[in-house]
A and B are shown apart, each in its own frame.
Chain A
């Protein structure tokens, strides 16, 4: 067990390094998308009156994964920000998916099951609420 195994690129250490990069670039990409959306949003609505005091919820197209993607494709600033936020939420989910793959490569059945449970819970949180 001690010492790196040259046969495998799926050692814990190697996987952790890849995961580190995944997280960093995921967050930077998400922030960049939200920034672009934010500039478009402020260019259009920056002069209007702000009101976050009363809770009205969001329109349907900003509440679901499909709706957000559709709204962002029309070039709407709010839709693009929301797309960036979705990318941000997806980053830790992708990290768990990546760990699942790594445990599967290591043929570690216990951890494949544990990681699959976590991934299923995350995907449920993201999509299970939509009808």
Chain B
């Protein structure tokens, strides 16, 4: 296949991943590596490098809109970024030491878990009681806009959230994904943040976390410009379109379809990882 045709096909596939990722809230980065490795036969190291770049693009693109709406809690984001960036650097170093088939197995498990989580209802645990000791010391409590004016929230479980963020960072550096599913888990369930705050703060952190490991991938030669270019532009354009049609779209059917795709990809990643045929 010629470079031109392959570039266009990869760009189209990435565009579709970007649209679906934005519409379902799972993020396009999750399926870029399986798409590149399973469909286009790309080496998993190149695939992870290209995926990381696309994750930064969508996160920063979406964050611009979120930040202006005033939901993102920069203090929480910054504290937790210590955990995610250390994790991302660790993950990027580990990625060079382990076999591609081991990465494929971890990837398959994360895909399965993400699909499972997205079928569960998200439970909001907003608290207004006294905050966690660390939350008070670091002044993490905040307010967010609601139709009835600014609503205050009180932050819980900072040590647990911080630890989960370290895991999210490792997965991001190892697999080239945003790990949004683990980040939101940490902020919803451990720290009891309101959805809007946890989703937007998580999105803000995803770009910073991916940037930490992207530098290492670049200096190892894992970021191929000919491959990363169509992936980055495709996912970015797709995510922008997805965000635009999100208002008013019925996403439950779409989410179910996307989940089936994710599960099929997970099984194939696991199979190829276990048989070592990747």
Q: Are A48 and B226 in contact (CB under 8 A)?
A: no
Q: Are A26 and B3 in contact (CB under 8 A)?
A: no
Q: Is B250 an interface residue (CB 8 A)?
A: no
Partner of A24, one of B40, B45, B61: B61
Q: Is B258 an interface residue (CB 8 A)?
A: no
- Mark contacts of B64-75 with chain A using CB atoms, 8 A cut-off: 1 yes-contact digit, 0 otherwise: 111110101011
Q: Which residues of B contact A15 (CB under 8 A)?
A: 74
Q: Is A41 an interface residue (CB 8 A)?
A: yes
Stretch at the interface among B84-92, B109-117, B191-199: B84-92
Q: Are A78 and B89 in contact (CB under 8 A)?
A: no
Total contacting residues, chain B, CB less than 8 A:
66
With A47-B2, A114-B78: A57-B213 Cβ-Cβ less than 8 Å? no
**Bound CA–CA A130/B221 (angstroms):** 11
Q: List CB contacts (< 8 Å) of B28-66 with chain A.
A: 36, 40-43, 45-46, 53, 56-57, 59-61, 63-66
Q: Are A117 and B219 in contact (CB under 8 A)?
A: no
With A21-B64, A55-B46, A78-B225: A42-B3 Cβ-Cβ less than 8 Å? yes
Q: Are B208 and A95 in contact (CB under 8 A)?
A: yes
Q: Are A81 and B228 in contact (CB under 8 A)?
A: yes
Q: Which residues of B contact A42 (CB under 8 A)?
A: 3-4, 7
Q: Which residues of A contact B5 (CB under 8 A)?
A: 50
Give B139's nearest chain A residue, CB to CB. Answer: A110
* Chain A interface, DSSP helix/strand/loop, else mixed: helix
With A50-B1, A91-B207: A31-B64 Cβ-Cβ less than 8 Å? no
Q: How many A-B residue pairs have CB under 8 A?
A: 209
Q: Is A49 an interface residue (CB 8 A)?
A: yes
With A20-B67, A52-B224, A115-B78: A27-B57 Cβ-Cβ less than 8 Å? yes
Q: Are B211 and A34 in contact (CB under 8 A)?
A: no
14 interchain pairs, CB-CB under 8 A:
A31-B232, A52-B36, A52-B42, A55-B43, A58-B221, A62-B221, A62-B223, A63-B219, A84-B229, A85-B229, A89-B56, A91-B211, A95-B207, A129-B215
Chain A residues within CB distance 8 Å of chain B: 12-13, 15-17, 19-21, 23-24, 26-27, 30-31, 34-35, 37-38, 41-42, 45-50, 52-55, 57-59, 62-64, 77-79, 81-82, 84-86, 88-93, 95-96, 99, 110-111, 114-115, 117-118, 121-122, 124-127, 129-130
Chain B residues within CB distance 8 Å of chain A: 1-7, 36, 40-43, 45-46, 53, 56-57, 59-61, 63-68, 70, 72, 74-75, 78-79, 81-82, 85-86, 88-89, 92, 138-139, 207-208, 210-216, 218-230, 232-233, 236
